Amino acid sequence: MIEGPKVEILEKIKKTRSKDEDIVRVVEKMKKVKVKELQGDEWQIEGDLVLKEEKVYVPKNKELRAEIIWWHHDVPAAGHGGR
């Protein structure tokens, strides 16, 4: 189960995807042809998230991408402690 900051990040990903022209175009195309996969399995819709090559697609948003990197790199649990 996903909890805490990860839930916040997923919500931010969902909210910012409408501002990413590439992902908007892909999602619209998928909805138009009523599929959950596009271009083989390169693009997929899983719940409210869009996957590219089986990974959650993070919209082109500098602040969001920086926050995700911070959570996976600088927090003490990751072993780096901001160094």
Where are the chain's structural domains?
5-75
- At residue 82, the 3 state secondary structure works out as coil
- At residue 24, the 3 state secondary structure works out as helix
Positions of E strands within the chain: 37-38, 43-46, 49-52, 55-56
Higher pLDDT, 39 or 65: 65
Confidence class for position 28, pLDDT limits 50, 70, 90: confident
Q: What is the pLDDT of residue 75?
A: 53
The model's pTM: 0.67
Confidence class for position 62, pLDDT limits 50, 70, 90: very high
Q: Which residue, among 62, 51, 4, 11, has the nearest Cα to 27 in the 3D structure?
A: 51
Is 70 exceeded by the pLDDT of residue 81? Answer: no
- Output the furthest CA–CA distance in the chain (Å, rounded): 47
The phi and psi torsions of 56 (rounded to 5 degrees) equal -60, 125
